[in-house]
Amino acid sequence: MIENIAADVTAFTSNAFLVDGTRRVLVDTGSNFDAVSAVESRTGGLDAVVLTHTHPDHVGALPAVVDAFDVDVWGFDEGHDGIDHGLADGDRIQIGDDRYRVIHTPGHKDDHVCLYAPEPAVCFGGDLVFQNGGFGRTDLPEGDRATLVESIDRLLQAVEPSLSVLHVGHGPSIRERPVEHIELAARMARSH
């Protein structure tokens, strides 16, 4: 089961996906809401946190979540406060009942990763791409449009046409033809 615990939050936050199963994982913690209570009310506990990247809206609740559940945190930037274990491109990490492949996708932020599991056909895309061809901002520090385009192309090469859902960092998860949304983002990022 995958649930966005920030779905009804009106404050500025990223999505925060609670993945229940063999290993209960929170993919991004969000910010400006009580992520701890949201997790506790659904599963009562947590085994780990995995970050798509370290922008404040994705990690604002990280200290509270770590304190409450005494969990380790995985992320690409081992030098970032709060990250206990580094992820590298191509690594595999257990999230819920499945093993996800880490795909390093900079351009929005240097430490950005997507997480993809072909077996359930699920991808956590962070802020790389969004619904209807949207794509991550490149006007923030570490943002670079050309690198972002390369990363979107990389994600397109990594996911299979059977991808069933793309969980994004902001807005609704894409459940209808997610690969087409990634393709559209690739075109839009090149032209805008």
What is the pLDDT of the chain when averaged over all its residues? 96
Whether residue 24 contacts residue 18, with contact meaning beta carbons closer than 8 Å, is answered with: yes
Q: Decide: 120 and 130 in contact? Cβ < 8 Å.
A: no
Query: Do the Cβ atoms of 93 and 74 come closer than 8 Å?
Result: yes
Show the beta-strand stretches assigned E in 23-160: 25-27, 48-50, 72-75, 85-86, 92-95, 98-104, 113-117, 122-126
- Averaged pLDDT, 6-33: 96
Mean pLDDT, range 115-135, rounded to an integer? 97
Structural domain for 26, as ranges: 2-191
User: What integer pLDDT is reported at residue 192 of this predicted model?
Assistant: 72
Output the domain CATH number for residue 55. Answer: 3.60.15.10
Q: Residue 123: what pLDDT?
A: 98
CA 68 to chain centre: 21
Question: ∠ at Cα 55 (46, 101), nearest 5°?
Answer: 55
Count of domains forming the chain:
1
Quote the pLDDT of residue 152: 98
* pLDDT for the residue 160: 96
